[in-house]
Amino acid sequence: MRINRKTMFVGMIALALGSTLASGQNAGISSGYITWYDGLNLSAQRGHGLYLRYCYGCHGLQGNGKGENAPFLDPKPRDFTAATFKCRSTPTGTLPLDSDLMRTLDQGISTSGMPSWRPLGHQDHMDLIAYIKTFSQRWKTEKPGTPIKIPPETAVTMDSINHGYQVFQKLECAKCHGPGGRGDGPAADTLMDSKNQSIRPYDFAEATNSSRFKCGETNEDLYRIFMTGLDGTPMPSYADQVQPNDAWDLVHFLRTLQVNRHSKERDVLKEAGGKIAAPGG
């Protein structure tokens, strides 16, 4: 996804503001001032104070993603009233774990205006999560999904990379991501998220050594992304279509598309002459 200059500007302001306000806070000690709110427990009341201090400018007072900064952001802020989250360890369509939400607050969301709120500390994160859950009834009627199991990674070999290319072809990933993983597939310009907003596929070729995926940076993160899907986006879950070993092969092939990033997969490909074997070849 592309971020325009306004998005970058707002994101930098948010990060600077968050770092400044949070700089004096100690991890594990909540700094959220209590704002009395009928029906909320103490943690959610503290979270309400933190939300007003740090979050409502983008996510809105009603948690619907329509804060005053929202018009300048691409992609748009999360709509908490829908309780649909991209970054999860749980199956598609299910609620995330608290640890998933904690990870998002800690790391931020790459290629978006959502910064890392790591300086706030653990208790502040828990209080924010408690308050964010009040925006949707789903948290009262549903339990988080059971995390998907991620088996140990298989060896990075040319056989794995070649088979990963075949999986890439079978799943028709190029329709969105393009044959070279540049986010320029034939369907790329038509993709819309659940809010009918234009959304771009991830560009693997653009990645550098410091780049992250939207929901992480490791091979395990990449495995998790296409096994859980990114709910609210056109990126589906492939958990019912791909076996674990095949999924690891796909991870290894996708890493070779990151031509500007050093990786073991790129080294293995280079040592083999730099060419992927065509199916049946």
Q: In Å, how far from its chain's centre is CA 14?
A: 18
Residue 42 has pLDDT above 70, yes or no: yes
Give the DSSP letter string of 80-96: TTTT--SS-SSPTTSBP
- Residues 6+ away with beta carbon under 8 Å from 111: 1, 3, 75, 214
Mean per-residue pLDDT, 234-261: 97
Q: Which long-range contacts (CB under 8 A, 24 or more apart) does 40-49 make?
A: 40/131, 40/134, 41/130, 43/126, 43/127, 43/130, 43/131, 44/127, 44/130, 44/131, 44/133, 44/134, 45/131, 46/124, 46/127, 46/130, 46/131, 47/127, 47/128, 47/129, 47/130, 47/131, 47/132, 48/131
Both structure tokens of 206: 């653009």
**Confidence label for 220 from pLDDT (cuts 50, 70 and 90):** very high
Mean per-residue pLDDT, 243-271: 97
Q: What SS3 state is found at 192? A: strand
Residue 95 has pLDDT above 60, yes or no: yes
| Among the ranges given (84-93, 209-218, 261-270), the one the predictor scored with the smallest mean pLDDT | 209-218
| Mean pLDDT estimate for the chain | 88
Q: In Å, how far from its chain's centre is CA 10?
A: 19
Return the pLDDT at 12. Answer: 43
Mean per-residue pLDDT, 25-51: 74
Sign of the dihedral defined by the CA atoms of residues 18, 19, 24, 27, in that order = positive
Return the pLDDT at 20. Answer: 39
**Confidence label for 277 from pLDDT (cuts 50, 70 and 90):** confident
| Alpha helices for 171-243 (secondary structure H) | 174-177, 219-228
Q: Global pTM? A: 0.84
With beta carbons less than 8 A apart as the criterion, state whether 86 and 215 touch: yes
The conformation of residue 216, written as its DSSP 8-state character, comes to B
| Among the ranges given (100-104, 154-158, 274-278), the one the predictor scored with the smallest mean pLDDT | 274-278
Mean per-residue pLDDT, 234-254: 97
Residue 173 has pLDDT above 70, yes or no: yes
- Give, in words, the CATH class of 5-141: mainly alpha
- Residues 6+ away with beta carbon under 8 Å from 51: 59, 128, 131, 132
d(CA 89, CA 28): 24
Return the pLDDT at 279. Answer: 64
Return the pLDDT at 49. Answer: 92
With beta carbons less than 8 A apart as the criterion, state whether 79 and 65 touch: yes
**Confidence label for 280 from pLDDT (cuts 50, 70 and 90):** low
Mean per-residue pLDDT, 245-267: 97
User: Which of 131, 130, 126, 118 lies closest to 25, judged by CA?
Assistant: 118
Domain 158-271: which CATH number of 1.10.760.10, 3.40.50.300, 3.40.50.970, 3.40.50.1100: 1.10.760.10
Pinpoint the residues of the chain covered by CATH 1.10.760.10: 158-271
Higher pLDDT, 280 or 142: 142
For 6-34, write each residue's pLDDT tens digit. Answer: 444 444 444 444 443 443 343 345 666 67
